[in-house]
């Protein structure tokens, strides 16, 4: 149980375009989802916390208008990288907490974004 999927697993786009990444909890409802960014050979950096039906909470230094997060249902959160630039190239990972009183984040497999 507690499986999280991401789509796409890899995406290559041209500079200036927008890219949407989906994060789904497959076998549970997730009131809270998280978006992380991971640079090569580095740890995870939390970008934002996404709660179903409300606005995402962004970490300091993360541009809200650049990284749009939508958590429209209890099983789906999306991250849209708007007007992508090469410096946005990274590995983006989402995670989810199954419901109330659960103590673990379950992670998706990640999405590798390459901006040309």
| Binding letters toward other proteins, positions 86-105, x by CB under 8 A | -------x-x-x----xxxx
Which residues lie below 8 Å from residue 103, measured CB to CB, with a gap of 6+?
Answer: none
Rounded Cα gap, residues 10 and 32, in angstroms: 24
Decide if residue 7 touches other proteins (CB under 8 A): no
- Smallest gap from Cβ 3 to other proteins, in A, equals 11
- Tell whether the torsion through CA atoms of 94, 37, 9 and 65 is positive or negative: positive
CB 57, CB 89: distance < 8 Å: no
List the interface residues with other proteins, window 41-60 (CB under 8 A): 42-44, 46, 49
Question: Among residues 82 and 105, whose Cβ is nearest to other proteins?
Answer: 105
Question: Among residues 66 and 112, whose Cβ is nearest to other proteins?
Answer: 112
- Smallest gap from Cβ 78 to other proteins, in A, equals 17
Give counts: helices (H), strands (E), the chain.
0, 11
- Tell whether the torsion through CA atoms of 52, 54, 56 and 57 is positive or negative: negative
Q: Which residues bind other proteins (CB under 8 A)?
A: 4, 6, 32, 34, 42-44, 46, 49, 93, 95, 97, 102-110, 112
């Amino acid at each position: 149980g507690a499986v999280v999927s991401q789509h796409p697993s890899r995406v290559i786009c041209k500079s200036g375009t927008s890219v949407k990444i989906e994060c789904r909890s497959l076998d549970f409802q997730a009131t809270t989802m998280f978006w992380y960014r991971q640079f090569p050979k580095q740890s995870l950096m939390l970008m934002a916390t996404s709660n179903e039906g409300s606005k995402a909470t962004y970490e300091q230094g993360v541009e809200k208008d650049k990284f749009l997060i939508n958590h429209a249902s209890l099983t789906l959160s999306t991250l849209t990288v708007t007007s992508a630039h090469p410096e946005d190239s990274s590995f983006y990972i989402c995670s989810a907490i199954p419901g109330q009183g659960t103590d673990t984040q379950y992670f998706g497999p990640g999405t590798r974004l390459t901006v040309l």
